[in-house]
Structure 1
């Protein structure tokens, strides 16, 4: 398991290739890359977190995924700081012997990161700055788990 909270950009291709170097038993790798959307004239997003607390929370949800599905590995990378539209904001990767477990665990992790991970996001657009509030559809997605 590899959980990283960082301000620096990451190379999705390199991270995916490294993660996909299987152990000979892994039959499925699922990766997801989240990008900052520039919709509504968004010029930038600022993401804050509490160091230590955030990493522990992400490690716990990765452990929870490993307890629910037979995973051979998990990767979570989430950025903080100032991000521009089009930049990678987060990555999730899961590995398992079978694709269903890898897909379901990846979806579980993404739903958690979207709605419960301890990050605070502020969007800056033509009308000023606004904190991002929880969305009903994100909460609905999380309830299925």
Structure 2
């Protein structure tokens, strides 16, 4: 797939797997959409959003290979690789090519794992994490630390 075939910044991408437009107000997908109002305005964050990567998720049928960017990784994973609806506390194994994490992790942290470990980007700001993982991404981790 070449980059001219898709607009990676557009959250209204059509999923060929489900045949409908992803609505960010849908209850099971709301948390994965980046909202530019919450993106920290620094040079590093801006470059994270514009970087394009190939998805290396291998579900047993071969490596995905779709073009993704940091801002759209959560939407991509939910649309193409995670069964929907999937509670945030569900445990998943990381199937990224070459991943050395051999234990299931919570779905709400696997996106951060992919961004930091596999894409090599650091989530240094809670606002950046919230914008890329959804509003409940930070909240669920904060609540976990308090318990």
TM-score by length of 2: 0.35
Bigger proportion of residues as helix: 2
